[in-house]
Structure formats: C-alpha cells, structure tokens
Chains A and B, each alone.
Chain A
C-alpha cells in the first residue's frame, strides 16, 4: 500500500512569490494535516482538513491557506513568501474523525525562499 506522497520534493522561490505544495494521503484516509518544520523551531501544526473542510488551524498568518479535494488530496498555498517561510513542509494523513489520531507522514517538501 502506498504511503503519503508529496510534491515537489524541493521548491525554490523568491521573496514575495507564491508556493503551492501538494499531498496525496494514504488510500482510505480522509484527514490531511500540514506541518512546518523550520530549523530551530521544531514541528509546528499548520492546518487540518477532513472531508473537504478545514477542521483546525495553527498559529500561522492567513497567507498560509489550503484546501482538500474530493479525492482527499490536498494543497497548501503560501502567499507573499518571506525568508522565514523556508522550511520542510510535512503532510500527514489519518483515518479521520472516526478514528484515532495516528498520523502517517509523507517525506516532505523542502521550500527555500531566497
């Protein structure tokens, strides 16, 4: 069974640009989570989607947004990129609201903002 997949693996942008990151969950999982892992800051919760709806949001500005599609895949959009947005962005999936909170992670997208 395929795990969580993310694309692209690496992304290089300049300050002020927009970045779009993609995630495909494990088959049968309806919940998708986004985390930011920046150097020195650890893993920070960004967003949680389930059944196409945003269920919870971390302490990040509105320029971080996303959506979940009918096939449960998800996009994370970061507008007006800033240098401090450089980080590893991790996507995770779980069985959803009816299940436990065991989350399975993808390999991440390394975003570099120049």
Chain B
C-alpha cells in the first residue's frame, strides 16, 4: 500500500507556465518533505513543512501543508527549464521519525 500518492504522475509544460503538484494520503504525518531529483543524481531536499496549514515559499516555489496534515502541494510560478526533474514528497512513518516513506513522484518537464 502506497501511503503517499502524488498527482499528476507526468507533467510537460512550456516555460513561463504555472503548475501545481499534489501529495495526498489517508494518514496523518508529523511533517512532510519535498525533494527534487535530477537524472543520475540523488534527491535534493527542497523544504520541510511541519505545521498544519503552513505555507513556505522558496523563490518561485510555494509549498503548503494541509490543515489536517494529510496532504501537501507544491506550486511553481513561471516554470523554467531548470525546474525539470522528478518531484518527490516524503514523510516519516511507522512510529520512527527517521524512516521516510516517499510518494509516487511527479516527473516534470519544462520545455523552453
């Protein structure tokens, strides 16, 4: 059972467009993290959201944690080709704060 479902699975857009990626679960998470992974590299941590309803901004990226701490979203404004990559949400589970479960991933391609 995949605890974290991401949508969409694939997204191909033109430079300058806006997009939103969703990470949903039926379980409550104490925190959620977002990573970006580029081909041939490991995931790079973008942000950690901890409080229900929290909104964090990282330049053109806006992250939101749902009020019930079961879901999160990532919104990118005016996407750039450099935003291309696999976006993963992740959260601790199983009572072990250091054991992460990862979402199914969203593969984003931004065309110039």
**Residues of A bordering B, CB below 8 Å:** 4, 31, 33, 35, 42-45, 48, 50, 55-56, 58, 90-92, 94, 97, 100-108
**Residues of the A chain whose Cβ atoms lie less than 8 Å from the Cβ of B103:** 42
The one of B45, B48, B98, B99 in contact with A97, judged by C-beta atoms closer than 8 angstroms, is: B98
B102 at the interface (CB under 8 A from A): yes
User: Interface of chain B, helix or strand or loop or mixed?
Assistant: strand
User: Interface of chain A, helix or strand or loop or mixed?
Assistant: strand
A90 to chain B, nearest CB (A): 5
A-B contact count (CB 8 A): 65
The one of B41, B44, B97, B104 in contact with A42, judged by C-beta atoms closer than 8 angstroms, is: B104
Is the Cβ of A45 less than 8 Å from the Cβ of B101?
A: yes
Known: A42-B102, A42-B105. A56 touches B96 (CB 8 A): yes
B91: nearest chain-A partner, CB-CB: A101
A99: nearest chain-B partner, CB-CB: B98
Docked complex Cα distance between A43 and B103 (Å): 8
Is the Cβ of B99 less than 8 Å from the Cβ of A107?
A: no
**Residues of the B chain whose Cβ atoms lie less than 8 Å from the Cβ of A104:** 45
Is the Cβ of A45 less than 8 Å from the Cβ of B105?
A: no
Docked complex Cα distance between A88 and B99 (Å): 19
Docked complex Cα distance between A100 and B31 (Å): 10
**Residues of the A chain whose Cβ atoms lie less than 8 Å from the Cβ of B40:** 107-108
The one of B45, B48, B98 in contact with A55, judged by C-beta atoms closer than 8 angstroms, is: B98
